[in-house]
């Protein structure tokens, strides 16, 4: 179904929060999902996958142990949202010839939006590489080289993020709508529902401050 990008972001934010992400993380998960959806990439689907995989896990378990050297989780896989936010925070560390390398990243395409924001900040294109996938972005547009359709892989053993050379060929530019299947929407909704307080008669009346007749 065709959705507005704001709808996708709002839904993604609630879903992310519903699985225990902090509000700040959920805000960025939502922006990342929206960004991918605007590029007609599988942001909402991959978000629902990574939320299901890491549902309720503490950040420390899926985030890099250290920012020195290759980024690794204490054990298991890195969460793309945890490394993505960190990559965006550390954008200034990306210098020509100094890539950021990560090991065992789940749903690696979700790192791309954060690389895009780093590119906007650095005013230089950034390249994300995993398996046979290579994607450049200047923040707005993308150039995808994915001969083996591994872009939506559930796990990359190695992911590299680095400054790329400026491209003169045309980038794929974002659109203004996103498509989400009802099934993916429902998967996200199941997480989002956890953030809503069940309504009671008291909350209906007091919580919204009603009580005076509207019918006048």
> Segment contacting another protein (CB under 8 A): 19-27, 49-57, 147-155, 162-170?
19-27
Which two structure tokens, joined as six digits, stand for 207?
């919580």
Number of residues that bind another protein (CB under 8 A): 51
Cα separation, 72 vs 89, whole angstroms: 17
**Residues numbered 114-143 forming contacts with another protein, rule: CB under 8 A:** 117, 120-121
By the rule CB under 8 A, 11 interacts with another protein: no
Long-range CB contacts (within 8 A, 24+) of 17-24 = 17/192, 17/195, 18/51, 18/191, 18/192, 18/193, 18/194, 18/195, 19/51, 19/52, 19/54, 19/55, 19/56, 19/191, 19/194, 20/55, 20/56, 20/57, 21/81, 22/59
**Residues numbered 36-65 forming contacts with another protein, rule: CB under 8 A:** 59-60, 63-64
> Which listed residue (24, 97, 147, 182) binds another protein by CB under 8 A?
24
Shortest distance, position 193 Cβ to another protein, whole Å: 7
The dihedrals phi and psi of 95, each to the nearest 5 degrees, come to: -130, 155
**Residues numbered 60-89 forming contacts with another protein, rule: CB under 8 A:** 60, 63-64, 67, 82, 85-86, 88-89
Whether the CB-CB separation of 164 and 112 falls below 8 Å is answered with no
Residue whose structure tokens are 């790329």: 164
Shortest distance, position 2 Cβ to another protein, whole Å: 7
By the rule CB under 8 A, 199 interacts with another protein: yes
Q: Under the rule (CB under 8 A), what is the footprint of another protein?
A: 2-7, 21-25, 27-28, 31, 59-60, 63-64, 67, 82, 85-86, 88-92, 117, 120-121, 176-177, 193, 195-199, 202-204, 206-212, 214-216
């Amino acid at each position: 179904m065709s959705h507005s990008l704001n709808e996708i972001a709002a839904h993604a934010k609630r879903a992310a929060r519903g699985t225990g992400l902090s509000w700040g993380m959920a805000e960025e998960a939502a922006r990342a999902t929206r960004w991918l959806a605007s590029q007609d990439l599988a942001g909402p689907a991959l978000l629902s996958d990574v939320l299901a995989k890491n549902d309720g896990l503490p950040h420390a378990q899926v985030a890099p142990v250290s920012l020195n050297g290759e980024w690794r989780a204490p054990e298991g896989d890195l969460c793309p949202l945890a490394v993505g936010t960190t990559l965006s925070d550390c954008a200034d560390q990306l210098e020509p010839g100094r890539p950021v390398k990560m090991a065992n990243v789940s749903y690696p395409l979700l790192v791309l939006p954060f690389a895009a924001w780093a590119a906007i900040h650095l005013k230089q294109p950034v390249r994300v590489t995993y398996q046979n996938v290579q994607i450049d972005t200047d923040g707005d547009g993308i150039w995808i080289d994915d001969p083996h359709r591994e872009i939506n892989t559930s796990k990359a053993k190695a992911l590299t993020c680095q400054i790329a050379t400026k491209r003169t060929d045309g980038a794929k530019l974002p659109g203004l709508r996103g498509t989400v299947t009802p099934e993916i929407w429902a998967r996200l909704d199941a997480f989002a529902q956890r953030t809503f307080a069940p309504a009671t008669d008291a909350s209906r009346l007091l919580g919204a401050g009603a009580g005076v007749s509207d019918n006048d």
